[in-house]
Structure 1
Amino acid sequence: MSKVKYYYDSETLSYKKIEQKKGRRLGIALLSVTGSFLAGFILLIIYLNIPQIETPKEKALKRELQNMKLQYGLLNKKMDQIQDVMANIEDRDNNIYRLYFEANPIPEEQRRAGFGGINRYKDLEGFDNSKLIKETTKRIDVLTKRLVVQSKSLDEIAGLAKEKGELLEAIPAIQPVNNEDLSRIASGYGWRTDPFTKVRKFHYGMDFTAPRGTPVYATGDGRVVRADSRSTGYGNHIRIDHGYGYTSLYGHLYKYNVRRGQRVKRGDVIGFVGSTGRSEAPHLHYEIFKDDDRINPINFYYGNLSPEEFGEVLEKAQRENQSLD
């Protein structure tokens, strides 16, 4: 209910009611509306130009977002370091390990291949920091794949290394009689004079003269496939299958120290020097077969001879003289 206003009329000495005109009332209303609009506009300008007032929850979410960006930045720096280490390992794998074991290098495109096909990162789209999250996730996926490829490569290298180690242990690589036990090297591989017929014939092994009973050593790891005297001319002899196409033969033995089927290691005493079979004096006749072909044993003494000792043995073996069998 609006208040009724009065004014004092000095001529009639009485109070009279103030009557407001309709036009004035409309002007006052318009002035009020205009004033309210201007006040609201001014408040809006002030609101837009002052720091936004945040609720405690909004502040907490903002801090969490900033921390997430910081953690993603640190994660990317760590991945840079990991990628550098990974690249170094891959380089050594291709240029040292795989090269040494005669394995084909792994192509760069195979190591660093991405992921084609469907969009694997669709769920990460539509956020303020989608690009950062997607790129980081992609880097992790590619790095994970590189680790898987490298792990499989190392598994392959480990298998090759084991096989290589077994091969190195199997190859007949030492002299079957110790140098200090030798009287002399009577004959090497090549054309020699037969002690019985005095005719030149090819001698397929090496003769090591030593006293009867001198130990004879297995020159590589393997399995004894023969220990008998049923091969013409060799007398009591032993044959060891070393695998990888290698076989070694030890002839004219006095007696055996192994039996057929037995596994032996390089350096094991397998028998003793004698003069059985077609032999002129106590000695060991030694041969090496590769894929059933007899080859020169002189090339396989690197396992227990110094360069000087090997040079001396080589010189003696090359002299053309009479063999002892």
Structure 2
Amino acid sequence: MSKVKYYYDAESLSYKKIRRKKRNTVKYASVFLLGSALFGFLFVFIASQYIESPKERALKRELQNAQLQFELLNKKMKEAETVLANIAERDNNIYRVYFEANPIPEEQRKAGFGGINRYKEFEGFDNSKLIKESNKRLDILQKQLVVQSKSLDEIAKLAEDKEKLLAAIPAIQPVSNKDLTRMASGFGFRSDPFTKVRKMHWGMDFTSPRGTPIYASGDGIVERADNLASGYGNHIRINHGYGYVSLYAHLFKYNVRKNQKVKRGDLIGFVGSTGRSEAPHLHYEIIKDGEKINPINFYYGSLSTEEFNKLLEHASLENQSFD
């Protein structure tokens, strides 16, 4: 209930009740309402500037989390780019050099994406440029990973082939040194034991007692094990693949059969003196791509430096061959 107010009337020498005019009441009410509205608007404006609503706080937390995740993503991309660059460098300068493969050009490794605008969907945002650059960087990184992955697959295949090649090359002496009497004759022009005419000797002769074990000098498949070739008597031919064939002649007997797979060091036969032979010995040849080559260059797998030098010295003498 509002207070009743009075005023002193000098004429009547009495107090009279103050009566508010209706027009003034409306005026005061309007001023009050307008002031209240202005105060409310001012309060809302100030509150909107300095006081966060629960929804705004939630959105702010989401934005801060997104910024953190974005920074972490960029950090991870930078680390991935560093690791990938290191792998690419080793790939070009070590792996591909070792396996004699051409390096992958830098423009192929770091090629971008041409054509249409792939990142149009990211336009129109406050950070559009940053978002587009990050997505472009991620796409290029993924493409580089695909290129490098294919390259490593190729290197793995080359390594597998290289391992097979190294196992296939005739790389050991076919007669053990402990069983060897001497290296009688080497590759080159030698005196024929029967005609005494100087002619080309296409292999190496290892003199050993009859029955001395003969070993496969590399992995391969027995191509022949017969005595149908003129002059060789009982002989074995092993196809090693990659253009290599090894021949073992004048055998006493075989320990393998045609089409049999053999590994380097497997026992394949025994020294004899069959065919055109003057005494028990092994005549050993290596054929590469259809051409007979000097076997002296293929003993890195079984001889020491001293043994090899001694073998090289005897092989270079122009003496008489045994077949």
Q: Distance in 1 between matches of 2:274 and 2:158?
A: 42
**320 and 57 in structure 1: CA distance in 2 versus 1, 3 angstrom threshold:** same
TM-score, normalization: structure 2? 0.88
1:306 corresponds to which residue? 304
Query: 1:72, 1:136 within 8 Å by CA — same for their partners in 2?
Result: no
Q: Distance in 1 between matches of 2:43 and 2:18?
A: 44
What secondary structure is seen at the aligned counterpart in 2 of 1:97? helix
* Aligned length, in residue pairs: 320
1:267 corresponds to which residue? 265
CA-CA distance at 1:12 after TM superposition: 7.0
**17 and 166 in structure 1: CA distance in 2 versus 1, 3 angstrom threshold:** closer
Q: Is 2:152 the counterpart of 1:157? A: no
Q: Is 2:251 the counterpart of 1:253? A: yes
Q: Distance in 2 between matches of 1:287 and 1:9?
A: 149
Q: Distance in 2 between matches of 1:234 and 1:164?
A: 33
Q: Deviations over 1:30-60 (max 9, x none)?
A: 9x87x95899499749945985222112101
Query: 1:7, 1:18 within 8 Å by CA — same for their partners in 2?
Result: no
Q: Deviations over 1:49-90 (max 9, x none)?
A: 985222112101101111110111122112211111110000
CA-CA distance at 1:93 after TM superposition: 0.5
RMSD (Å) for aligned C-alpha atoms: 3.2
Bigger drift between 44-53 and 287-296 goes to 44-53
1:241 corresponds to which residue? 239
Matched-pair identity in %: 69
1:57 corresponds to which residue? 55
Q: Distance in 2 between matches of 1:89 and 1:144?
A: 15
Task: Output aligned runs, 1:185-200, within 5 Å.
Answer: 185-200=183-198
What secondary structure is seen at the aligned counterpart in 2 of 1:106? coil
Q: Deviations over 1:265-301 (max 9, x none)?
A: 1111110000001111000000111111111010011
In structure 2, which of residues 209, 212, 220 is the aligned counterpart of residue 211 of structure 1?
209
1:174 corresponds to which residue? 172
**184 and 9 in structure 1: CA distance in 2 versus 1, 3 angstrom threshold:** closer
**56 and 183 in structure 1: CA distance in 2 versus 1, 3 angstrom threshold:** same
CA-CA distance at 1:161 after TM superposition: 1.3
CA-CA distance at 1:8 after TM superposition: 6.8
1:224 corresponds to which residue? 222
**16 and 247 in structure 1: CA distance in 2 versus 1, 3 angstrom threshold:** closer
**9 and 307 in structure 1: CA distance in 2 versus 1, 3 angstrom threshold:** same
Q: Is 2:101 the counterpart of 1:88? A: no
Q: Distance in 1 between matches of 2:17 and 2:219?
A: 137
What secondary structure is seen at the aligned counterpart in 2 of 1:86? helix
CA-CA distance at 1:130 after TM superposition: 3.3
**197 and 48 in structure 1: CA distance in 2 versus 1, 3 angstrom threshold:** same
Bigger drift between 126-135 and 186-195 goes to 126-135
2:144 corresponds to which residue? 146
Segments of 5+ residues of structure 2 without an aligned counterpart are none
Name the amino acid aligned to 1:249. Answer: L
Name the amino acid aligned to 2:286. Answer: I
What secondary structure is seen at the aligned counterpart in 2 of 1:315? helix
What secondary structure is seen at the aligned counterpart in 2 of 1:54? coil
In structure 1, which of residues 292, 295, 299 is the aligned counterpart of residue 293 of structure 2?
295
1:126 corresponds to which residue? 124
CA-CA distance at 1:321 after TM superposition: 0.7
Bigger drift between 38-47 and 148-157 goes to 38-47
**322 and 64 in structure 1: CA distance in 2 versus 1, 3 angstrom threshold:** same
**9 and 52 in structure 1: CA distance in 2 versus 1, 3 angstrom threshold:** closer
What secondary structure is seen at the aligned counterpart in 2 of 1:288? strand
Q: Distance in 2 between matches of 1:131 and 1:69?
A: 15
CA-CA distance at 1:19 after TM superposition: 11
1:99 corresponds to which residue? 97
Name the amino acid aligned to 1:290. Answer: K
Query: 1:9, 1:16 within 8 Å by CA — same for their partners in 2?
Result: no
